[in-house]
Amino acid sequence: MSKENLNRRDFLKSSVKTVTIGGLILSTFDIKKLIASSSEVNSAQAKVINLTDYPALGSTGGHEMIDSNTIVIRTGSNKFTALSTVCTHKKCDVEFLGDGFECPCHGSTFSKTGKVTNGPAKKNLKSYKTNYNEADNTLTINK
């Protein structure tokens, strides 16, 4: 084997190592970016609703489904409760009865605040923090 062939071989090996290491470093940065952007998405899951679009929420005691599985109940002039309507037992949709919730599947009941009042469900309904902006008449639900 000539010295020139050996040098070419060394050069190729070195080039492959450099490209491989460079690719790994770049892919690590891409993964970090991806993770960072996915956590931004998770933290940006707040939903803002304009209460003029939900007339029942205009007065205390009113309630509205704001999407397929989230109910908002107005509990005071500036207070709201937002709950998931997915039963914590086996994920059926609970029904709001005015003074609490009942699951049609196995009979679990929950208070108006989502607390389990009768099993078989053992966990409370998932609740979401809310922020009411009186000036804009908007409610932010932090899901």
Structure tokens at 49: 């609703």
61 vs 119, beta carbon nearer ligand FES:
119
SS3 140: strand
49 vs 121, beta carbon nearer ligand FES:
121
CB of 94 to ligand FES, least distance (A): 7
Q: What does the per-residue mask of binding to ligand FES show for 92-121, with x meaning CB under 6 A?
A: x----------x-xxxx-----------xx
Distance of alpha carbon 45 from alpha carbon 142, whole angstroms: 7
Smallest CA-to-CA distance from 87 within 99, 95, 75 is with 95
Contact call for residues 114 and 125 (beta carbons, < 8 A): yes
Note the residues at the interface with ligand FES (CB under 6 A). Answer: 87, 89-90, 92, 103, 105-108, 120-121
